[in-house]
Every structure is written in C-alpha cells, then in structure tokens.
Amino acid sequence: MTKIEIAAPVAVQTVASHPAQPQEPKDGARALSESFAGLSPAQRIARLRQMIPGKITFTTGFGLEGQVILHWIAEGGHDIDVVTLDTGRLFPETYELWAETERRYGRTIRAIYPQNAGLEQLITQHGINGFYESRETRVACCHVRKVEPLNRALDGAQAWITGLRGDQSAHRSELSIVTLDATRHLLKLNPLFDWTREAVADFAAVNDVPINPLHAQGFVSIGCAPCTRAISPGEPERAGRWWWETEDKKECGLHLPRA
C-alpha cells in the first residue's frame, strides 16, 4: 500500500510551490497507475475514493463509458460529484437519456453551462454554426461550450474521473489508467482505459445500464449534434466527431495535455 498512499493531491499541489521538483507528481501518478492495473474498473473507483480525502468529480457526456462508470459509482454508493457539461447543442436523445439515468440511479447529475457573455460573443463573431468554417472557429466553440465550463466543474476537486479508453484514438492510447493534470493540480483516473468498447457494451447490456439509442444507429462517439455523425463499418471510433477536419488528433480540448 505504500505506493498507493502517495497522497496524490498533496503531491500535485507541490507543483506550484516547488517548481524545482516537477517530476515527483508525475512519478507518483505513474506508480499509482501501475498499482491500479490489476484492479477492475469498479475497484479502481473505490480505491481512488478511499485514497483521496477531498472532492472527486466525475464528468459524463452520457456516452457508453460514462453510463457504465456512473453505474459503478451509484452501485458502490460513492461520494463522488457527478457532472455533465450541457453545451446547449446536444441531441434530444441525450437529454432524454439524462432524465432516464437520473431516474434509474436516483441521483441528480449536476449541470454546468457555458457563460452567457462568452457564448454571445462567440455567436456574434462567428455565427450560430461558425465552427464549420475552420478548425480555429471550432476550437473556439469547444472552448466556450466545453473547456471553460469544465474548469468550473472541476473547481475544488482533487481528482477527476473520465470515461477515456486507450483504444479510442492514437492520442488517447498515449495516456494511462492514472495521469496527472498538472495545470488543474489534480489526478485523473480513466478506469476503463484498458477496456474495449465491446467489453463496455457487454457490461451495459448484462447490467441493464441505460444507453443512448443513437449508438444503435451508428453513432459511436456522441457529442454535440452539429459535430457528430454516424460512422460506417471499419471507420475509427471517433471518425464521426468533427468529421470535416483531417487532423489525426481531433479533440475538443478537455483531454489535451496541459503544461
């Protein structure tokens, strides 16, 4: 247990106060990731809750992975803040699933919305669908609707739980079960990092976890409605996100490395 009891949030806090030792928190996250490798995702969540004395936040977009993680949090009775970012451009099916999920697990999912001033300025400058014009305008939209709200969602948290899987994209394969968000000064747990989509889907089916009906229509990775399409057989999992862009690392900015 000595490796696990690295007091991760305390170590992370030393990044700002002791810049001469920037590697220590990263080394701690790496050791923690190795110690979590032999645990199931549900056990990883429980172990993190045991280790972290303060606030843990789980952010969900109601995708397949998020639904399964929420199932484990609810079934385990864990004191973990469950948050979603309502961009204002989600599919109707996503809002319906949101309500169904709250009924299924008997808990309210906290919603964070874009700041009015930033959103109004964005639309005034680029138009309601300006994100189709260039990658720069799309990234600006993601920043206003997702990245800035995420920063508020994680305010005060010592650890962050996400639904990332390593096989979702080349970029995400470079991550691990536990990583360090050095700018936000918190640990990031990806409990499903080493699971396949098929394994997640099988678990959801066996345990009657509510999922988005759009998955059955080819929508594998579901985000904002204007920026998501169904994929064809053989296409990469995230090919349906921002499909008009050609970059390999198509991310909204939530999970990019932060210096």
pLDDT at 172: 58
Q: What is the pLDDT of residues 157-191, one digit of tens each?
A: 999 999 999 887 565 556 789 999 888 889 999 99
Torsion of CA 131, 142, 242, 96, to 10 degrees: -110
- In the predicted model, is pLDDT for residue 42 greater than 80? yes
Q: Is residue 252 flagged as an active site residue?
A: yes
Is 235 contained in some domain? no
pLDDT at 246: 74
Determine how β-strand 55-59 pairs with β-strand 110-112.
Answer: unpaired
Model pTM score: 0.83
Q: From the CB of residue 129, how many other CB atoms can be counted at a distance below 10 Å?
A: 13
Provide mean pLDDT across the span 231-235: 91
CATH number of the domain at 178, please.
3.40.50.620
Residue with tokens 């490395």: 257
Is 243 contained in some domain? no
139 alpha-carbon distance from chain centroid: 17
Number of domains making up the chain: 1
Q: From the CB of residue 249, how many other CB atoms can be counted at a distance below 10 Å?
A: 12
pLDDT at 252: 52
Q: How confident is the model at residue 25 (pLDDT cuts 50, 70, 90)?
A: low
Domain range enclosing 31 = 8-213
Is 139 contained in some domain? yes
- In the predicted model, is pLDDT for residue 66 greater than 70? yes
Is 234 contained in some domain? no
Is 248 contained in some domain? no
